[in-house]
Amino acid sequence: MSNVSRAVDRGGLLNALICNRRRLVSIAARILASEELAEDVVQDAMLKACDLAGTDPNCPVSFACRMVRNLAIDRARRRRWELQHALPSDGLDAVEAPIADAQCALEGCEALRAVLAALDELPERTRRVFMAHRLDGVPQKTLAAESGVSPTLVNFMIRDAQRHCLARLEAHEHGHAAGATGQVREAA
């Protein structure tokens, strides 16, 4: 039995992907503006369909079209993000080392100490919310639910904590000692 006939035996979705391949590549190519990337997306859809073996949608052709369309949109978004955040290859020689010398390393450590001290000045709940969101990437809605407060309050706590840390860092950079007047109060 050939690979294709074994794949067709697995279900309607994989069969729909195989029989409508040109149409699916066309759908993905319209979104991605690239025939090669469209081929990759359809291949990814086929791999996903193999993982979904045993799942047979009511209308496998429509499901396959939607699957390819969604994968193509995801791929286009990822490409856009990569293009926005990638360094130009011709400027790579001009990128500085993270720490040029011992003086820069010392200044970086002192700045980090200033920020950590600023975090210690924050109310416990504000510090916990700020660090969970900024360092661990926990969504604000999740933090609001865990803390029993509104998402708006979580947003304000994160904003206030960031402003407080920036103020302490600027004071450190300018050699000013920060007084108690800049402390953040816990919001209700």
Q: Kindly report, residue by residue over 58-114, the tens digit of the pLDDT.
A: 888 999 999 999 999 999 999 998 888 776 666 656 666 666 677 777 888 888 899
Q: Evaluate if residue 8 carries a pLDDT over 50.
A: no
Type of residue at 96: E
Dmax (CA) for the chain in angstroms is 79
pLDDT at 109: 85
Share of the chain above pLDDT 70, in %: 78
Q: Is the pLDDT of residue 181 over 80?
A: no
For each of the domains in the chain, give its residue range(s) and CATH number, in order of start: 3-85 (1.10.1740), 102-182 (1.10.10.10)
Name the E strands within 45-151.
none
Quote the pLDDT of residue 31.
94
The owner of tokens 């955040």 is: 85
Of 104, 96, 12, 94, which Cα lies nearest the Cα of 58?
12
Task: Provide the 3-class DSSP secondary structure of residue 185.
Answer: coil
